[in-house]
Amino acid sequence: MEPAFGEVNQLGGVFVNGRPLPNAIRLRIVELAQLGIRPCDISRQLRVSHGCVSKILARYNETGSILPGAIGGSKPRVTTPTVVKHIRTYKQRDPGIFAWEIRDRLLADGVCDKYNVPSVSSISRILRNKIGNLSQQSHYEAHKQHHPPPQPALPYNHIYSYPSPIAAGAKVPTPPGMPAIPSTMAMPRTWPSSHSVTDILGIRSIIEQANDGSLYHSPKVEEWTLSRSNFQPSAQHIVNGLEKSSLDQEAKYSQTANGLPAVSSFVSASSMAPYPTPAQVSPYMTYSAAASSGYVAGHGWQPAGGNPLSAHNCDISAALAFKGMPSAREGSNSLTASVL
DNA sequence: CTCGTCACGGTTGAA
DNA sequence: ATTTCAACCGTGACG
């Protein structure tokens, strides 16, 4: 059960144990870092533990994504793409086939051995969940390779190749044939979710996003809370895997009606109440979501130069003023205190 | 003081 | 429908 109220950390920030920080805050962390603010100051300013800031920044540098990794679920154990494909074939050829017959056939055809053959109940579930509508492609299939059925001991990475290493959340240790991501690489990159942040924001679609959209992990988009419906009431297509609870919890982020970035984000983020007030429904409600597409659109934006952040002059100047603090030390502390 | 790392207590969700 | 359990979470503390 998700608590209605989060806990308060040592810095006075609100968090929900076990749950990711809201994307608005993750975004701000990256924004501030890009503005040259030191992680320790970001930590203080946003009241997020420095360990977390460090992690989010590190992940961003590595993958270009501000999004949290996919939580929960489990990788298929016996229900590999190959197995699913065979089951589908059997079912197509003989729609009346029983699950136990499928099981026998998987063994007989050498698709599985007795150690990794799915149970009858698993097959039933596969039939129900993945093959119920035969015209519907399993999303495991798109990138299928003809690997033999997995040996139980083998890591799944051998079987499930990801379109990009980041897809697995930066934790997949550079699968074979998969070069490490040049973290310096600029813009064009694939987000680890089926939606780019900007896409989710409804501001802009990321072009290359579409193709890998339905891969293994993709249905999992940890809550992105901004109400996209503001700009595109028609684009109500479901955000895959969007948690209802998160929606409920975070749907309240402020967002300007036209979808332009909220100019006041810096201030509002800074002016959040040190402690949750009884009136607040969400532990995160005090944060405002600056929907700044530029930041997340890619990784390759320049701090100077034709910066895509122009809509943020307000934020930027505020932040730069902050950054410009002499040696940022006593200065930053006191400023942080006063701003907050 | 800063920052990378990790144990911990927690949540999630496909199998 | 319920349970399992490995994935991820942020905090707090250490070094």
Asked whether residue A290 is domain-assigned, the answer is no
Q: What is the pLDDT of residue A2?
A: 60
**Predicted confidence (pLDDT) per residue in A123-177, tens digit:** 888 888 777 665 444 333 333 333 333 333 333 333 223 333 333 333 333 343 3
A19 & A55 share domain: yes
Asked whether residue A103 is domain-assigned, the answer is yes
pLDDT band, residue A192 (cuts 50/70/90) = very low
Counted domains in chain A: 2
Residue bearing the bigger pLDDT, A11 or A133:
A11
Residue with minimal CA–C1' distance to B14 is A73
Asked whether residue A304 is domain-assigned, the answer is no
Q: What is the pLDDT of residue A133?
A: 61
Distance A54 CA to B4 C1' (A): 8
- Contact positions of strand B to protein Cβ (< 7 A): 1-7, 9-15
Q: What is the pLDDT of residue A118?
A: 87
Instruction: Show which of A124, A140, A175 is a domain's final residue.
Output: A124
- Contact positions of strand C to protein Cβ (< 7 A): 1, 4-13
Q: Where on the phi/psi map is residue A80: left (φ > 0), alpha (ψ -120 to 50), or beta? A: beta
Asked whether residue A99 is domain-assigned, the answer is yes
**Predicted confidence (pLDDT) per residue in A277-305, tens digit:** 444 456 665 444 444 444 443 343 333 32
A59 & A89 share domain: no
Which residues 23 to 82 of A reach strand C, CB within 7 A? 26, 48-52, 55-56, 68-72, 74-75
Distance A77 CA to C15 C1' (A): 39
Asked whether residue A169 is domain-assigned, the answer is no
Distance A163 CA to B12 C1' (A): 24
Q: What is the average pLDDT value for chain A, to the nearest integer?
A: 58
Nucleotide nearest to A20 (CA to C1'): C9
A25 & A56 share domain: yes
Kindly determine whether the C-beta of residue A217 is less than 7 Å away from any atom of nucleic acid strand C: no
Distance A324 CA to C8 C1' (A): 36
pLDDT band, residue A264 (cuts 50/70/90) = very low
A56 & A86 share domain: no
**Predicted confidence (pLDDT) per residue in A68-85, tens digit:** 999 998 887 788 878 888
By the 8 A CB rule, do A87 and A49 touch? no
By the 8 A CB rule, do A212 and A163 touch? yes
Asked whether residue A165 is domain-assigned, the answer is no
Q: Which domain holds residue A55?
A: 7-63
Nucleotide nearest to A244 (CA to C1'): B12
Residue with minimal CA–C1' distance to C5 is A74
Asked whether residue A57 is domain-assigned, the answer is yes
Task: Report the CATH number at residue A90.
Answer: 1.10.10.10
Q: What is the pLDDT of residue A70?
A: 93
A59 & A106 share domain: no
Distance A147 CA to B12 C1' (A): 30
Asked whether residue A51 is domain-assigned, the answer is yes
Distances, alpha carbon A49 to alpha carbons A126, A194, A202, A278, in Å: 42, 28, 30, 23
| Rounded Cα distance, A225 and A50, in Å | 23
Which residue type is seen at A230?
A: N
The pLDDT of residue A229 is above 70: no
